[in-house]
Amino acid sequence: QVQLVQSGGGVVQAGEFLRLSCEASGRTWRAYSAAWFRQSPGKEREFVAAAKPTNSNPYYADSVKGRFTFSKDNAKNTVYLQMNSLKPEDTALYYCAAGSPITSTIRNPSAYAYWGQGTQVSVSS
């Protein structure tokens, strides 16, 4: 059973930064793709970033490209989302996920079988 435990998040002002972490049980990130999604009240879960286990270049949503960076530390079984230049519209509950999507579904939350507990990011203007 894959378990994902998230940490990080918080309340910041626009322009500041945060880093989210997602630690997995076992060697999850060597076997599964990792992704970050976010969800605001009343909205559908939105793709943020993802990467395949083969250390290929990460995928990013256009809304975060150039500001957010996905990284992975296999030795710590942890993936990270570094979020710089945060904007109020980045406010959401952020989730990490693990799964085996094909390239065409890597941005689709239904392609991921395992989810972290979620962590809140709030950005004030």
For 70-113, write each residue's pLDDT tens digit.
999 999 999 999 999 999 999 999 999 999 999 999 999 999 99
- If residue 28 lies in a helix (H) or strand (E), which one and from where to where? helix 28-31
| Residue 56: per-residue pLDDT | 78
| Residue 1: per-residue pLDDT | 86
| Residue 26: per-residue pLDDT | 84
| Mean residue pLDDT across the chain | 96
Kindly tell me the burial class for residue 12, based on how many C-beta atoms sit within 10 Å of its own C-beta (0-12, 13-18, 19 or more).
middle
| Residue 27: per-residue pLDDT | 85
Summarised one tens digit per residue, pLDDT across range 50-65 is: 999 986 799 999 999 9
Cβ–Cβ under 8 Å, residues 53 and 42: no
